[in-house]
Amino acid sequence: GYFYHMMRQCRYSSKDLQGIELITSYVFNQAEYIRFNSTVGKYVGYTEYGVKNAEAWNKGPELAGELGELERVCKHNADLHYST
């Protein structure tokens, strides 16, 4: 069989909401093929398939959706992170 995994991480470097970083990784059969990093501001591909998808996703609605996740998930939950 095949293994597909998507992992989303919020990294909090300071209490300043501008210091929050969102990283979304897409993995197929234990190899990361594409990643979104909010600091970079776009998708980056690591395999031939990932590069092709990154180019398309950076031009489409996926990029705006991922930036929305930074606001919706990471910044929304910052208070919870800092309170623990």
Domains delineated in the chain = 4-83 (3.10.320.10)
| 78 — pLDDT class (breaks 50, 70, 90) | confident
Residue 76 has pLDDT above 90, yes or no: no
In which band, very low, low, confident or very high, does the pLDDT at 84 lie, cut at 50, 70 and 90? low
What's the rounded Cα separation, in Å, for the pair 50 and 45? 4
pLDDT over threshold 90, residue 15: no
pLDDT at 83: 73
Task: Please compute, for residue 64, the number of CA atoms within 13 A of its CA located in the half-sphere on the CB side.
Answer: 3
Is the pTM higher than 0.75? The answer reads yes
